[in-house]
Structure 1
C-alpha cells in the first residue's frame, strides 16, 4: 500500500486539509502543537480504512467541536491499482455513518463497496490482508508507543509477528483439517455399521443352500415323469404327422388345380396381348415411306439448330463483358471525381502558403519569447516562496517581540500602581507592605530601560531581507499578463505552424494528382470505345439467333417420326414373334387342362385315407393337457428355485459389498490419520512456530543493520525463541529480546530510555520492512510520530541518519517532529499552519 492523498473535513482539530502525498518520499511533518499532525497522518487513514480505531473515544467525539458533519477521504495505491475510502460521520439525530470503497478504472471511480459498512470493512481487510492492529504495527510508530513491540510480553510479541508473517491462516487451515477428519470419521463409522449389518444377513446362508438342494431334487423327479409322457406324445404326433402330410397333399392338389386354371386364364390373356402387338407392327410397316421422309427433315433441322446453339455462348460472354465494362467505367468516373476534388483542395491550400509562412515565423518568435517568460516566472516563483517563508518568520518574531513588550508593560503598570499606593496608604515606612512596594518601585527604572532598549534587530533584519528579495523580484521584470498573452498567442499560432510544415510535399502531391487524372481519362476513353464495340457485336449476334425458337418447335414436332423410324425393324420381328407365340399358347392350354383332370382323381383318393385324423388328434390333446399341468407344477417349482437363487445371489452381493467396504476402510483410516497429522502441523507449535523460527534471523539481520548505524556499532539485538522450563525438563516457546554491547548481553529492559528508543526504532523498522516484503499485504509506508525528543543531539543525528537509510526501502516515510534541527535534516517538509481557524497544509 502507498498513500497518495488525504482529504479531511472537521476531523478532531482539523477543519479542512487536502494533503497531496504523490510527490512525497521522505518528509518531516512540522507545525504547532495541537494543529492536528498526528490526527492527519496516524488517526485519519486508520479511521478511513478500519473505522472505530481509538480506544475509549466514540465516533461522535472525532467530529470537530462546533460541527455536525465529518469526513475522511483516503487515496492509496495497492497492487498496481488506485483505491479510495470515504468514511463520514454525522451527529445529527441518532447519528449516521457511511463508508465507501472505490477503485479507479480507466479514469473513473467504480464502487467496490458491500451493502453494509461491516461487510465493506471486511472487503477492505481482505483487500489489504491486514487489520488495524497489524497495519498500525507495521506502518506507524505512534507517539509514546515506540515500544509497542519490544515492551510487550513474549506471547504478545509472537502474536504480532504471527500477524505480520500471515500466520493467521493456519488456525483456519487447522479447522478445515478438523472438519475433513470429522467427515471422514463419520464415513468410517458408517462403513463399520454397514459391515456389521451385512455380517448379520450372511449368518443364515447355509440354511438357504440346503433348501435349494431339496427343491432341485423334486424338480429332477418331475422332469422324469414329464419325459415319459412326452415319449407317448411323440408316437401319436408321428401318426398325426403322416395324416397331416396326406391332408396337406390333398390341399396342395386343390391349390395346384386352382393354379392351373389361373395359368390357363393368363395364357388366354397373353394371346390377346400378342394380337394387339401384331396389329401395331402391321400399321408401322404400312407407313414406312412417310416415316423415313419426316426423319430426314428432322436431321436437316438438327444441323441448323447445332450451328445456332454454338453461337449462344458468345452472346452470354458478350453480355458479361459489357456489364463488366460498364462497372469499370462507373468506377473510373468515381475515382476521377475524387482525384479532381483532391487536386482542387490541394491547389486551394497552396494558394494560402505565404500567409501560413508568416504565421509560422511569428509562432517561432513567440515561442522564443514564451521560453524567456517561463525562465523569469520560475525565478519569480522561487523568490515568492522565499519571501513567504521570511514573512512567516517575521510574523512569528513579531508575535514574540509583542508578547515580551506586553509583559514588560503589564509589569511596569503593576509596579506604577504599587508606587501610587505608597503615597496614598499612610502606612509607616517599617510596614511590610510599604517595604515590598518600595522594592517593587526600585525595579521600575530597570524595566523601563529594558522596554526602551528592547531588541527589534531580528525584525529589522527580516524586514530588510524581505525588501531586498522584493526588489530583486521586481528587478526580474516579469509581467504575468504579458506571459499569459504570449502563451495564448503561441497556442493560437501552433496550428498554422504545423500546417506550414506540411507544405513541403503539397506541390509534388498536386503533380501526382494531375498525372493520375490524365491516366484515368485515357483509360475512360479506351473503355468507352470498347463498350460501343461490344454493344455492336451483341446486336449482330441477337439478330442471327432470331430463327432459333421456330426451329426448336419444328424439331420437337418431328421427334415422334424419328422414334417410329427406329421401330421399323423391330416391327417386322414383332409380327413374326407374335404369330409363333400365339400358336405355342394354344398348345400349352390343351396340356394344362389334361394335368388338371389327373390331379382331381388323386385328391379324391387322399380324402378317403385321412378319415381317422380327428380321433388321433383328440387322444394327443388329452395327453398334452396332462403334460401342461406337470409343466405348470415344474414352473412353480422353478420360481421357488429362482427365488432361492436370487436370495443367495443377494447374499453373494452382500459378501462382495462387505469385502469392498473392508477394502475401502483401510485407506480412509489412513487418510484420517494424515488429517490428524495436519491438525497437529497447523497448530501453534507446528508450521507457524517453524515459520517464526525461520523469520527471526531475517528480523535480527535487518534490526542489527539499522541499530548498528544508530549506535555506531555499539549495540546489537538477538531474539530467543525458546527457553528452558523452570518447573520441569524441556523447552517452552517464547520471543525474548536480548541486547548486546561491547561488554555483554542483557535484557532489553535494563537499558536506558534513549537506548531503548533506538532499539525500539531498529526493531520497528525491521518489522515494517518484513511486512513490506510480504506478498498480498505490502505496506510501503512508514510514519514516525514525535520519537526524537528523548535523544541527545549526537544520537538524534544517528537516528535521523537511520531513518534516511531505511527510507529507500519504503515509498513514503513521514516523520512528525517539533524539533527544528530535525526538520532541517529533511529535503521535504509538510507544514501545518493556522489559516482562518482551520489548518493550511503546505507541502514543500
Structure 2
C-alpha cells in the first residue's frame, strides 16, 4: 500500500485547494521529507485529510468521548466529535482527496467532501459524501457510504485502527511503554495492537462465574421456601373432603325444595295483584270507549256541512277562471313590451357610451398632436392642414441630417482602425519584450557571478569538513579508550592491583596509574573537552556546507529559469526596428487613434439626433391619421344615437297602453275568491276534505282499538282467575309459609360454610401436588446449574478477574514476545548495538548491549537518543505486526522530536536516513529547526493573517 497524492480544500486553517503529489519532483525522488511549519499552522491537517478520504475519520477526534453540541451557523448545532467540524469557518464547501496504490497493484482515488446548503457560508451542514474510483480502469464504485468504506478497507488492506498503527506512527506511546509497570504495559499493548478482547474475555468469564454462583444460590433459596404436607395429614384431609362432598349434595337438594315453596307463595301474591290491576284497566277502557264514540259522530256531521258550503261557491269559481285567462294574455304582452323597452334603453345607453368614448379618444388624439406641435415650437392648437405642412418641413430637415452623418461614416471607414489597433498592440508587446530581455540579461550575469562564488566556498568547505572528520575520528578513538579507562569496572580492577603482581589484562607487573587516579581523570576530561570541541566544529562546518549547497542549488535554479526565459523571448521577436523607432511609431499611432475616436463620438451624437427626428416625424404622421379616423367615428356614433332615441319613445307609448288594460282586469279579479287563483281554491278544498276524511277514519280506528283491548282484558282476567285457584290449592299444603325466607337463609349459610371448608381442603391437596412437581423441577434445575457453575469456577480460577488484568497479562505476554521479534529486526537496521528482551515471567523489558559483551541493561539507563531509536523500532515493529504481511511503502511520523537534544536529534536523523534505504517514503512532521534544515525536501506550511495558512513544496 502506497500513498501517491493528497489534496484538500478549506479544511481547518488551510484555505483554498492545495495538493501534495508524491509522484512528481521533488517529492518523487525524496526518500525522506519534512512537513514543517510553526505550531498551529496546520501541519497535522494533511494527516487528517488522509484519514478523512480513506476512512471518514480524523485522528484529532480519537479522544473525544463526551457528547457536546457546539454552535454552528444561525441556530444550528453540531456535535464536537463530528468530522464536519474540520470544514473551515466562513467557507461553503471543502474536500479531502487521496490517490493510493492498492494491494492489487491498481491506482485508486478516494474523494471525501462536505458542503453547506445552497453552497452558502450561512447554510446548514449537509451529510458528507464519499466517491471511490479506479484510476487504471476508470471504474467508479457505487453504493452507500458504509459500503464504500468497507470497499476501501479491502483495497487498502488495513482497517482504520491498523492504518493509524502502521502508516501514522506516534512514538510517545512507546516511550511511555518502555518504562511503565506491568499492568500499564498490558493496557498500552491493548491500545497499540488492538487486542483488548483478552481483557473483555477475562471480565466476561468473571461475570459469568459470578452470575452462575448467584443462580445456584437463587435455586437453593427457591427450594427452601417450598413446604410439603406429611403423609398422615394428607390422608386425614382426604377423608374430610369425602364427608363434606356428601353434606354439600344433601344441602343443595333441601335448598331447592324450599325455593320451590317460596316461589309458590310469591307467584300467588303476584297473580292476585295482577288480577286486581286488570279489573281496573277494564273499567278505564269502558270510559275511553264512550268518549271515542262521541267524537266519531261529530266528525261525520262536520264532513256533511263542508260539502254543502263547497256547492255554494261554484259560480264565483267559474268567473275567476275566465278573468285569469284574460289577465294571463295581457301579462304576456306586458312582459314582452317591458323587455323591448329595456332593450331599447340599453342600446341607447351603450351608444351614448360609445359616442362619449369616441369623443374622449378624439380629444386625447388632439392633445397628443398639440404636445408634439409644442415640441416643435408651436404654442397654440392648429388645424390638420397646418400640421401636415409642419410635418413636411420636419421630414426635409431629417433627410439633410441623414446625408451629413453618412459622409462622416465614410470618413471613419477610411481610417482602417482595426489594423491601427492591431499594429499598436504588437509594437507594445515588442517594446515590453526588449525591456524584459535587458532585465533578464542583467539577472543572469548576477546569478553566474554568485554561482562562481558559492562553488569556490563549497569546495573549500568540503575540504575543511573532510579534514575535521579525519581529525574527529582520531580524537574519537582516543576518547573511547579514555572513557573505558575511567569506567567503574576498570577503576575497581585498578584498585586491586599490587606492585610486582601481573595485571590480569595486560600481564605487566608495573602499574604506573595505580597511585595516579587523579591524573587519569584529568587526562580524560581534557580528551573529552577536545572531543566535544571537535564534534561542535565538525557539526558547524557540516551545517555551513548544507546551507552553501542549498544556496548554490537555488542560484543554479534561478540561472536556468532565466536562460529558458531569455531563449523563449528571443524566439518571439519581431522585425520592428530599435526601441526609439518603435516608440516614435507608437506616438504616431496614438495620434491617429485619438483623431478616429473624436470623429466617431461626433458621428454617434449626430446619429442619436437623426433617430430622435425620425421618431418625431413618424409620431406626427401617426397622430394626424388617428385624428382624421376618430372624427369620422364620432360623427357616425351621433347619428346612430338619434335613431335609437326615437325607437325608445315609440316603445314607451306602447308599454303604457298595455299596462292600463292589465290594471283594470286585476282590479275586477281581486274581489273573487279572496284574491286566490281557482287552482289554489280547489286545492285548499281538496286538502280540507282529505283532512276531514282522515279525522273520521282515525275516530273509527280508535273505537275499534278500544273495543279490541277491552275484549283482550276480559280473556286475560279469565286465565288469571284459573291460575289463582291452582296456586291457592298449592299454598294450603305449605307449613308456616311466612317463615320460609328465614329457613332458606339459614340453609344457604350452612351450604356456604360447607363449600368453604371443602374448597380449603381441596386447595391444600392441590398445592401439595404442585409443590411436589415444583420440587422435582427445581432439583433438576439445581443439578444443571451446579454443573455449569463448577465449569465457570474452574475457568475463572485460571483466567477470570473483575478488571480483566489476569488474562490480559497472560495474553499480552505472548503479544509482547511477537512484537519484540519484529522490533529487534528493525532495530538491527537502526542500531547494531542493542537488542530488546522480555524479562522472563513479566511484561518488563530489558536491553542487551552487544558492544558490552551482551551485557543486560535496564531501559532506565538509555539516553534520550537511544530511547528514541528503541521507541522507533517498537513503532515499526507494531507496523509490521499490524500490516498482516502487507507491504506498506508510506510512513508518517507526527511526534517525538520536539523534546530531543542536539546529539539525540542527530542520532534520530541518522536512523531515519537508514530507514528510508529499506524502500519506504518517510514523512516527518516537526517544527524543530535543525531537523528541518537537515531534510532538503520539505512541505512547508506558512501562517498568514486571519488564521489562514498556505502550503508550498520546496527542494
TM-score tier (shorter): 0.3 to 0.5
Q: TM (normalized to structure 1)? A: 0.40
Q: TM (normalized to structure 2)? A: 0.37
